[in-house]
Amino acid sequence: MSIFINKETRLLIQGITGRDGSFHAKQMLSYGTKVVAGVTPGKGGQLFEGLVPVFNTVAEGVAEAAANTAVIYVPAAAAASAIFEAVDAGLGLVVCITEGIPVLDMTKVIPFVHERGARLIGPNCPGLISPSQSKVGIIPGNICTPGKIGVVSRSGTLTYEIIHQLSTQGFGQSTCVGIGGDPIIGTSFIHCLSAFEADAETEAVVMIGEIGGTDEQLAAEFVKGGMTKPVVGFIAGQTAPPGRRMGHAGAIISGSSGTAAEKMRALAAAGIGVMKRPADVVPLLKERL
C-alpha cells in the first residue's frame, strides 16, 4: 500500500519543456510513473520525448489525458498561478517543487486549495515516491525499495540519507513524502502521519524535522494521542545558532520553541524514538517493531 500516489496516479507536469521540468520528467518516465500530459503555454501540440502530449493549459491536459495529479516545475514568480490553475482544473493532488515562492502568494493559495478540497504538497519540496508504484518529484528512485516504513520530512537531501539507511539495511518504504521547508506549506506532518496511521501496510513511520516553527511539537502531540504505530524522529539543525536561517526559509529559530533541543524533548515526551544522527534510524526502528 501507499499514501497519496500509487500505480493509478496519472501525472501532468507543469513546465515540462523547461530545464528542470524536462530533466525530471525523463526521470519519472524512466521510473515507470504514468506521465500522461505536460503543460507549457504556447507549446501545445508537441510531444515530449515522442511520448507525452504537451498542452497549453492544465484544463486541456485533464480533459484530454485524464490526469489526476500535477507536479510543478515553473519559476517562483509563476508558481502560485500554476497551483491555482491546477486546482481550478479539478486535480486532487498538486505537488509544487518550486522554491522561493513569496509567502504572501502562499497566503492566497492555501485557502483556495482547501476550499476546492484538493491537496497541495510543498512548495519548496522534493515531492514524494511510493517505491515500485509512482514517483512524483525529484526523490531519487534508485535509493528507494518497496516496504512498510513511511517517511515524512521537512528536509530535502537529509531525506535521501534516511531512505538510504533504511534501504541498505532491509527496511523498505511504503511512501516517502517531502512536505517542504517553507513557512507556509500545503501538507503538514500531521496530515502525513494520519494517512500513514490509516494505511494498513505501513507498520512504522520515520519523521524528519528541523529547527524553526512548532510543527514538530504539534506532530508529537498528534502521535501521543492519535497513533498506534511506532514513530522515530530526527531534528536537523542541532548546532544552528539562534536568529540565523539555516537552509529552508522556515528554518529560523525565533524563540526557545524553535530550537532543536526543544523539539527533541517534545518528541521524546510523546514516546517517539529520537535519533541523534541519521544512522540511528534502523536500530531505533528495530527496538519498536
Q: Does 129 fall in a domain?
A: no
Residues 270 and 170 grouped into a single domain:
yes
Residues 147 and 248 grouped into a single domain:
yes
Q: Does 134 fall in a domain?
A: no
Residues 277 and 158 grouped into a single domain:
yes
Q: Which triple of cell numbers denotes residue 134?
A: 509512482
Select from 286, 6, 24 the least CA-distant residue to 165: 286
- For residue 248, what is the domain's CATH number? 3.40.50.261
Question: Which residues are tagged catalytic?
Answer: 248
Select from 155, 128, 125 the least CA-distant residue to 141: 128
Residues 147 and 215 grouped into a single domain:
yes
Residues 146 and 284 grouped into a single domain:
yes
Domain boundary among 87, 121, 155: 121
Per-residue pLDDT of the chain (289 residues; tens, 9 = 90+): 799 999 999 999 999 999 999 999 999 999 999 999 999 999 999 999 999 999 999 999 999 999 999 999 999 999 999 999 999 999 999 999 999 999 999 999 999 999 999 999 999 999 999 999 999 999 999 999 999 999 999 988 899 999 999 999 999 999 999 999 899 999 999 999 999 999 999 999 999 998 888 899 999 999 999 899 999 999 987 766 655 554 554 444 455 557 888 999 999 999 999 999 999 999 999 999 9
Q: Does 250 fall in a domain?
A: yes
Structural domain span for residue 231: 139-288
Phi, psi at 186, each rounded to 5°: -85, -30
- For residue 47, what is the domain's CATH number? 3.40.50.720
Neighbours of 5 (CB within 10 A): 25
Residues 116 and 250 grouped into a single domain:
no
Burial of 239 (0-12, 13-18, 19+ CB in 10 A): exposed
Under 8 Å between Cβ of 259 and 253: yes
